[in-house]
Amino acid sequence: MRAMASLFLRSLTFLEQASPPAGRQPCKRLIDFSKNVRIAVTYQNSNYLASVEDISTHLDDPNLVILDCTSTVIPADAGFTVADGREAFEEGHIPGAQFVDLQSDLSTPSDHLLFTLPSADHFGDALNRLGVGENSRVILYSTGQPGWAARVWLMLRAFGFDNAAVLNGGWKAWTNAGLTVETGAAKTRPVASKPFGWTYRPGFFVSSEEVTARADGEALVNALGPDSFRGEASIAYGRPGRIPGSVNIPTFSLVDPETGFYLSQDRIETIFADAGVRPDAPLIAYCGAGVAASNIVFARSLSGAQARSVVYDGSLLDWSSDPERPLISG
């Protein structure tokens, strides 16, 4: 499965557009954080990121909940399929981590959409089963690009839970540091002693109506690769092209392609500025199905932008389902 995914990942424009995920093999060498950690890189909201040094020294904390959020998009005759990362998780994961499948565990089933926001009860039940409660600190990671983890981070915030962070560098950072790797299925965690009150709060996801009615000066950002933005990619989300008025900030442009670490705050801000997105401009991000777009919002939040930044939840799969909604190419 991993070999097939690695072959396809080079051509994907949905999310995994940089280096393919590192193999999940147990690492036995001595820990050497100096080769893995970007020292002195700070952000306005540094608490939105976690480091491997921090996590590795708190694995015994009963309030620490680590979630591997990885899925893989694979080209298929009818467009693409989505495979969860459970098999790779069982080959190796951070000790004590749980696996969460974004599509089957955290999304509302739909005939033509993926990863659609569930109800607060649905989401809360899933997180309760994973051991998340009032006193939990949640760490999210994925292989390859961090958009899968960023999506779950944004969903947690949408349902009222703020004490969560994305592991900077993801699985690659963990294995590159030579840290302990656990294999097999996840160990069942007890239900949290103090449940969290899951309640949906607006301000993180929007619908097609809000995209259509967006105000002058509100940036619309396409998070796919340049070929998808032009409507030339092998994968199309219903119909090829982009929503009129969009600018392009590929999700992979926000992380270092070699290490998977997020770029510095200055470089992130420059990328947004070069795309014509003012720091004070509200922003709607979209992609194929709302995952890559979540990384746009996460990176902008990390850098401390105060302007409203939200994800178009249905993204192109939703937009393109209505032939009256325009898409442009070129």
Q: What are phi and psi of 8, to 5 degrees?
A: -80, -30
pLDDT of residue 144: 78
Determine the residue type at 175.
Answer: T
pLDDT one digit per residue (tens) for the chain, 330 residues:
333 333 333 223 333 333 333 444 433 333 344 444 444 478 999 999 999 999 999 999 999 999 999 987 776 665 667 778 899 999 999 999 999 999 888 988 776 767 888 999 999 999 999 999 999 999 999 987 899 999 999 999 999 999 999 999 999 999 999 999 999 999 988 888 899 999 999 999 999 999 999 988 899 999 999 999 999 987 778 889 999 999 999 999 999 999 999 999 999 999 999 999 999 999 999 999 899 999 999 999 999 998 999 999 999 999 999 999 999 999
Stated pTM of the model: 0.86
CB 262 within 8 A of CB 268: yes
Which residues are annotated as catalytic?
287
- β-pair partners for 68: 99, 141
pLDDT value at residue 77: 66
pLDDT at position 75 is 67
**Terminal Cα-to-Cα distance of the chain (whole angstroms):** 34
Residue among 92, 99, 91 at smallest CA distance from 179: 92
With contact defined as beta carbons under 8 Å apart, do 148 and 254 qualify?
no
> What is the secondary structure of 110-174 as a DSSP string?
-SS-SSB---HHHHHHHHHHTT--TT-EEEEE-SSSTHHHHHHHHHHHHTT---EEEETTHHHHH
Residue with tokens 């219903």: 238
pLDDT at residue 28 in the model: 32
Note the pLDDT of residue 103.
82
CA angle 184, 108, 300 (to 5 degrees): 80
Domains of the chain: 2-176 (3.40.250.10), 205-319 (3.40.250.10)
pLDDT score of 76 = 65
pLDDT at position 109, please?
A: 72
Give the C-alpha distances (Å, rounded to integers) separating 301 from 44, 46, 158: 9, 10, 14
Question: Residues 73-97: pLDDT tens digits?
Answer: 776 665 667 778 899 999 999 999 9
